């Protein structure tokens, strides 16, 4: 969810560049031959069935919202998933839902091949990932990442923020960032003393995890910004995306402002023109994932986008930060990502080649490998 408007040029002090790591997952896949493609073809039928069920569930949920069922209560707004004790680490992964040929930058590898076997998960500071979606998305967008991490032995929590995913709250009624992030802060508050997690924020979820880092720095081992808003104190997401870098005409064309309080009042939410979703957010993603997103995405509350963060060096600044750049991103283009990195350098910058704004769809294997690498950085 990028909001790009032009302002006057600003000069900024030079900062020491962060360490940058390019993902070279193709090198590890050089010896895989025809067996891989046989495995991929044999699992296509099963994978198609999985996607059909996912799409059917998403369509049913959308119909319930349209029929006034959106106010039905839900038992919880956080999707908790844990590794099953009887899962076989060596079983083959199902094929990606994409009908295109797999890129060498996103090879078909099994989870145990992506994990450094020299380092045991129980020896890590934490093996618990908390995934925070971006504006308009929900916990549903992480389904590939959840499956890969759990197969590798990690514990995963994917959160639906207020008014997102299956959370039943009306997006137009959200008036603050604290209200929007409440499912995340409530989850962190319930962690036991000494328990830590790795926060991963995508898109506007970057501002959300920054807010949480300020409140619960002792409970966050590392923070990962995935094509995300990485703000400094006193900035809002709107401020960051308003920096003069490159004009984003596609974003302006795709944005649809909603005025639930009347056209003479401020916007209450932002939606996207469905016909432009693929070009803006999913230009490298499989068609089935684009279809899933088109029936699952919800409007983005506008007030949290305007809210300026108050971040301290003692709290927010004490958490280790990592930024993952998406090099084929049309929503938050590379110059905008570079601008955020230069103004607020993280510990490391990692690159995902060939990834659009939704790498959990377009480059799930490469994204998984990078997340595992970050978890094992001492």
Q: Which of 130, 153, 149, 146 is nearest to 84 (CA)?
A: 153
- Active site includes 203? yes
- Active site includes 357? yes
Q: Which residues lie below 8 Å from residue 294, measured CB to CB, with a gap of 6+?
A: 274, 277
- Active site includes 279? no
Long-range CB contacts for residues 309-313, cutoff 8 Å, separation at least 24: 309/177, 309/207, 309/210, 309/211, 309/214, 309/231, 309/232, 309/233, 309/234, 309/235, 309/236, 310/214, 310/233, 310/234, 311/210, 311/213, 311/214, 311/231, 311/232, 311/233, 312/214, 312/233
Structure tokens at 326: 């998406």
In angstroms, the CA 271 to CA 259 distance is 11
**Do residues 46 and 92 touch, judged by C-beta distance below 8 A?**
no
Helices (H), 32-125: 34-42, 44-66, 111-114
Structure tokens at 354: 């060939």
Catalytic one among 106, 160, 289, 329? 329
Alpha-carbon 139 to chain mean position: 9
CA angle 21, 2, 61 (to 5 degrees): 105
Catalytic one among 203, 239, 289, 356? 203
Catalytic one among 133, 316, 357, 368? 357
CA atoms within 13 A of residue 196's CA, in its CB half-sphere: 16
Residues known to be catalytic:
203, 329, 357
């Amino acid at each position: 969810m990028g909001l790009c408007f032009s302002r006057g040029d600003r000069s900024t002090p030079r900062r020491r560049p962060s360490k940058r790591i390019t993902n070279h997952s193709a090198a590890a896949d050089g010896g895989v031959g025809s067996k891989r493609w046989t495995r991929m073809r044999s699992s296509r039928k099963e994978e198609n069935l999985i996607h059909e069920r996912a799409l059917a569930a998403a369509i049913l949920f959308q119909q319930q919202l349209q029929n006034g069922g959106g106010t039905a209560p839900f038992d919880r707004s956080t999707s908790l998933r844990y590794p099953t004790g009887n899962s076989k680490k060596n079983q083959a992964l199902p094929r990606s839902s994409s009908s295109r040929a797999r890129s060498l930058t996103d090879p078909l590898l099994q989870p145990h091949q992506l994990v450094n076997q020299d380092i045991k998960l129980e020896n890590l500071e934490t093996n618990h990932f908390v995934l925070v979606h971006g504006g308009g998305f929900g916990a549903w967008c992480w389904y590939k990442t959840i499956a890969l991490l759990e197969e590798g032995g990690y514990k995963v929590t994917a959160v639906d923020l207020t008014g997102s995913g299956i959370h039943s709250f009306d997006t137009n009624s959200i008036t603050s960032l604290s209200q929007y992030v409440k499912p995340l802060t409530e989850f962190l508050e319930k962690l036991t003393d000494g328990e830590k997690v790795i926060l991963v924020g995508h898109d506007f979820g970057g501002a959300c995890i920054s807010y949480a880092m300020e409140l619960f720095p002792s409970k966050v081992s590392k923070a990962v910004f995935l094509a995300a808003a990485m703000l400094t104190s006193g900035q809002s997401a709107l401020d960051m995306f308003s920096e003069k870098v490159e004009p984003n005409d596609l974003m302006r064309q795709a944005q649809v402002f909603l005025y639930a309080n009347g056209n003479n009042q401020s916007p209450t939410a932002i939606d996207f023109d469905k016909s432009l979703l693929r070009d803006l957010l999913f230009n490298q993603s499989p068609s089935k994932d684009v279809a899933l997103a088109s029936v699952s995405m919800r409007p983005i509350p506008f007030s949290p986008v305007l809210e300026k963060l108050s971040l301290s060096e003692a709290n927010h600044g004490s958490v280790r930060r990592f930024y993952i750049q998406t090099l084929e991103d049309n929503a938050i283009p590379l110059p905008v990502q570079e601008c955020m990195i230069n103004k607020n350098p993280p510990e490391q910058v990692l690159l995902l080649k060939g990834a659009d704004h939704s790498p959990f769809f377009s480059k799930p294997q490469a994204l998984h490998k990078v997340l595992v690498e970050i978890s094992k950085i001492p």
